[in-house]
Structure 1
Amino acid sequence: MKYAFSKLPEIKSKIENSGPTALLLDFDGTISPIVPRPDDAYIPEKTRSLLKKIDKMFPVVIVTGRPLAVIRKKVGVKRFIYAASHGWEWDFEGKLKRKPLPKTIAVKFNRLRQAVKNIKKDFPPLIIENKPYSVTFHYHLLPIKQEMIFTERLKNFLKPIRRQSSIRIFHDKKTVEITPDLNWTKGDISESALRHLRQKSHKNFLPIYIGDSTTDEDAFRALARGITVRVGKSKNSAAEYYLREQREVQKFLGWFLKTLPS
């Protein structure tokens, strides 16, 4: 991986030698700092202001695991394109759509939501998000000793789930997320958003994708033709570039806005 700020001339050249650009961003850990309680996540006002200015020049697409209603409220900018719930629901400039879960998968997730209640009883500081298309454990607030017990308990809990071909499990930054595995990912919804932009403008857009988590790796692979940036260096990442920490995202957006022609 290449450090983005040491390769700005290279990145600028790629953008200038392509057609129009589309900026795709993850939410948590990318434009929003990681916080112990997911409800407390926010976008710094300066970051929001930069994105609104960028959107006047290039489309801005928010690609997230959060539900559509939640992410639109968190971001607070109606004209952005939103790809929510890891791509299972989206708002492409007022065109709202959702992919239905197959009945067999919906039944599995209903059972899963019931099963996790027992874990929550034993670990009160644990936060469990029962989202429309996923279940997420947040254990940032667990004391160290409880965290060790919890991770072992979770490991045993997940063993039978891992054997189910229609279920996918992501581990990242003291969170564990369980999602459907039906060949539809952040990479697929990102491509879908780009097709929407192409059909609207009759132009091919160069994607710039910035994300920080394991769920973003599908998008890094799908958009390898563009500019892919991971928040946090990882030797296993498919991203071409990296930023050292979340705070550098705002700095990168500022460079993007100042450097590029309108």
Structure 2
Amino acid sequence: MGLLTESAANNNHGLLDSYTTWLEEHPSALDSFEDMIAVAEGKKLVLFLDYDGTLSPIVNDPEKAFMSEAMRAAVREVAYLFPTAIVSGRCIDKVNGFVKLDNVVYAGSHGMDIWTPTGSLKYEDEGQQTKSIDEQGNKVVKFQPAQEFLPTVKEIIQVMEQKIKTFEGAMVEDNRFCVSVHYRNVNEKEVDTLKEMVHSTMKAYPNFRINGGKMVMEIKPSINWNKGRALEYLLDTFGFTSSSDFLPLYIGDDTTDEDAFEVIRGLRRGFPIIVSSVPRNTKASYSLRDPDEVMDFMVRLAKWKKAKSTA
């Protein structure tokens, strides 16, 4: 074995050992399924699902992050059996266009744009809920706590689109209430310069913050709202805020999902599940390796629920 090959083999062995150790703290939700279901007996499960990297693979072109028909069928099935929400950093129209299901609730822009049939009584007096009609003619209540920032978001998009022209492969994505600067396809030697440019540009916008993601910089209004707060809002719209017999189950792969994991931990009930094939710092209790395992988990969940219903 050559020195380079031997070094790579030793490195892979080290990563495997590290992942195995990490799994002891964040066991596979598939391997732990029976234990989880035992906890769920007599409780009402509520599902929350991230999109990119959870229901679809991470791809070089964000516009082509399509979910498979098998995944769509799995989501459709669990959504018939449990209250289900898709909570994504994408704008709500885009994630709706990817998922193409009408039996789930959508929360876009990292939870800053939530459309539900009824809205939340807790937030009724805050002026952030508006009644509307969706494209299918259904009545919806839109919750948009960052509405006042929309003109500035549009300005930031225009500025960033001009600034990234010197970085081949960079892309600015309009996610309505936030801006995503993708650098997955940027030359590795230019990534730090791109990041410095974004941070320098955003100094002119003190009411916004920058969060890191998977080869992306997320620019969001600096408000006290995130996917964790969105989870709490959705639990209320589903009618579970004052209930003691529900269990939230949240599956996500990104750093922005950690806020939701933290909320579930604070509730001391439910299952925060991270999607990752490498060791990561996380507040999740369980793990799944990739979208294929996410789909397998949902299929098992649906089978369990249907078996319970016919027993």
Provide TM-score, normalisation by structure 1.
Answer: 0.88
How many Å apart are 1:160 and its aligned residue? 6.5
Instruction: Give the aligned partner of residue 248 of structure 1.
Output: 293
CA RMSD in angstroms comes to: 2.5
CA distance in 2, matches of 1:185, 1:126: 25
CA distance in 2, matches of 1:254, 1:121: 44
Q: Matched residues in 1 for 2:44 and 2:95: separation? A: 26
Are 1:36 and 1:140, in contact at CA under 8 Å, matched by a contact in 2? yes
- Are 2:225 and 1:189 equivalent residues in the alignment? no
Name the structure 2 match of 1:47. Answer: 71
1:174-229 CA-partner distances (Å, limit 9, x unpaired): 11111112111111111111111116997753110000001111111112221010
Which runs of structure 2 are paired with 1:59-138 in the superposition (5 Å)?
59-93=83-117, 94-101=139-146, 103=148, 105-106=149-150, 108-138=152-182
Q: Which amino acid aligns with 1:6?
A: D
Written as runs of structure 1 = structure 2, the 5 A alignment for 1:94-243 is 94-101=139-146, 103=148, 105-106=149-150, 108-142=152-186, 146-159=187-200, 161=202, 166-198=207-239, 204-224=245-265, 225-232=269-276, 233-243=278-288
Gap change, CA 1:26 and 1:197, over 3 Å in 2: same
The alpha carbon displacement at 1:141 in A equals 2.2
Structure 1 residues 96 and 72 mapped into 2: Cα distance closer, same or farther (>3 Å)? farther
> Structure 2 residue aligned with 1:13, among 17, 30, 38?
38
C-alpha spacing 1:107/1:95, structure 2 compared with 1 (3 Å): closer
> Partners in 1 of 2:109 and 2:302 — Cα distance?
28
Structure 1 pair 182/15, CA: closer, same or farther in 2 (3 Å)? same
Rate the CA distance shift 1:180–1:200 in 2: closer, same or farther, 3 A. closer
8 Å Cα contact 1:162/1:168 also seen in 2:
no
Could you tell me how far apart the structure 1 residues matched to 2:236 and 2:45 are? 13
SS of the aligned residue for 1:125 comes to: coil
Q: After TM superposition, give the deviation of residue 157 of structure 1 in Å.
A: 3.1
Q: Tell me: CA distance 1:43–1:157, structure 2 relative to 1, closer, same or farther (3 Å).
A: closer
1:4 to 1:31, Cα distance in 2 relative to 1, 3 A = same
SS at match of 2:238: helix
Measured in 2, the distance between the counterparts of 1:247 and 1:122 equals 37
Identity %: 30
Provide the C-alpha distance between the structure 2 equivalents of 1:71 and 1:133, rounded to a whole number of angstroms.
Answer: 14
Task: Provide the C-alpha distance between the structure 2 equivalents of 1:154 and 1:21, rounded to a whole number of angstroms.
Answer: 40
Counterparts of 1:151 and 1:258 in 2: how far apart (Å)? 47
2:75 alignment partner AA = L
Alignment match, 2:61:
37
Distance 2:286 2:160 in 1: 37
**C-alpha separation in 1, matches of 2:303 and 2:80:** 13
Q: CA deviation at 1:126?
A: 1.5
Higher mean C-alpha displacement, 64-73 vs 160-169: 160-169
Bigger Rg, which one: 2
Shift of 1:247: 2.1
Decide whether the 8 Å contact of 1:187 with 1:219 is kept in 2: yes
Give the direction of change, closer, same or farther, for the CA distance of 1:204–1:33 in structure 2 (3 Å limit).
same
Q: CA contact under 8 A between 1:64 and 1:86: conserved in structure 2?
A: yes
Aligned-residue offset at 1:152: 2.4
* Aligned positions, number: 257
